[in-house]
């Protein structure tokens, strides 16, 4: 019962929080509007991302880009489903990590289907010298989930490694 609880709860929480924060941004901000929260470091900025992470393929031909960004998350969900199925029942961290990645993929897929783009709004920058590409809650969940998977995989291999002679 541990694995499904962490997996499905992570998915639901990510989707709900992601869509709620995007709804707030769309309803309170004009496109391109920015609200500085920490001077010269962090702002909320309403951005529309037609590409992937960091705007990858944003300028690609829409006849390629649109189907690509609808198919890739679905394929990823199938792969994540197989990874989830093969987890042991007590693998709560890996179950949660797969849930975070799945919830993030679903959250961004909802935007692409509903709006034709992904709403990004978390805008980190250093003065006006460096801007990290804007992102959202779904993107954050995907990154955190992948990080947890990498860490748990690393720890698991270290604890199961045979001693060297």
Q: How many domains does the chain have?
A: 1
User: Is residue 142 situated within a structural domain?
Assistant: yes
158 part of a folded domain: no
Note whether residue 25 is domain-resident: yes
The single residue of 18, 111, 120, 123 carrying the catalytic annotation is: 120
- pLDDT-based confidence at residue 163 (cuts at 50, 70, 90): low
Tell me, yes or no, if 139 is annotated catalytic: yes
The more confidently predicted of residues 154 and 63 is 154
**What is the model's pLDDT at position 136?**
97
Confirm whether 111 is a catalytic residue.
no
68 assigned to some structural domain: yes
Note whether residue 165 is domain-resident. no
Q: Would you state the structure tokens that stand for residue 9, as one six-digit string?
A: 């709860």
The average pLDDT across 68-97 equals: 88
How many Å apart are CA 67 and CA 92, to the nearest integer?
A: 34
Tell me whether residue 161 is in a domain: no
Give the pLDDT confidence of 114-139 residue by residue, as tens digits. Answer: 999 999 999 999 988 898 999 999 99
- How confident is the model at residue 19, as a pLDDT? 98
pLDDT computed for residue 3 by the predictor: 77
Asked if the structure places residue 159 within a domain, the reply is no
- What's the whole-number mean pLDDT along residues 68-86? 87
Domain membership of residue 9 as a residue range: 2-128+135-152
**Is 80 exceeded by the pLDDT of residue 52?**
no
CA 94 to each of CA 52, 61, 91, 123, 163: distance values in angstroms, whole numbers, following the listed order: 24, 37, 6, 29, 25
- Please name the residues in contact with 106: beta carbons below 8 A apart, sequence gap of 6 or more: 11, 14, 15, 73, 77, 138
Q: What is the mean pLDDT of residues 159-164?
A: 55
Q: What is the mean pLDDT of residues 42-61?
A: 80
> At residue 113, does pLDDT exceed 60?
yes
CA distance 141 to 25: 18
Write down the catalytic residue from 18, 111, 123, 139: 139
Percentage of the chain beyond pLDDT 90 is: 61
| Global pTM value | 0.86
């Amino acid at each position: 019962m541990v694995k499904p609880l962490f997996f499905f709860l992570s998915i639901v929480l990510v989707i709900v929080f992601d869509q709620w924060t995007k709804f707030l941004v769309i309803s309170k901000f004009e496109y391109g509007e920015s609200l500085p929260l920490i001077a010269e470091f962090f702002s909320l900025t309403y951005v529309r991302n037609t590409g992937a992470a960091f705007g990858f393929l944003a300028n690609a031909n829409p006849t390629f880009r649109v189907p690509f960004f609808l198919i890739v998350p679905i394929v990823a969900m199938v792969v994540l489903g197989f990874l989830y199925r093969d987890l042991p029942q007590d693998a709560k961290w890996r179950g949660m990590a797969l849930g975070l990645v799945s919830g993030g993929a679903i959250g961004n897929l909802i935007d692409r289907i509903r709006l034709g783009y992904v709403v990004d709004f978390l805008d980190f920058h250093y003065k006006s010298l460096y801007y990290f590409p804007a992102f959202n809650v779904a993107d954050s969940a995907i990154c955190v989930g992948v990080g947890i998977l990498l860490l748990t995989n690393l720890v698991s291999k270290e604890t199961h490694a045979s001693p060297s002679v």
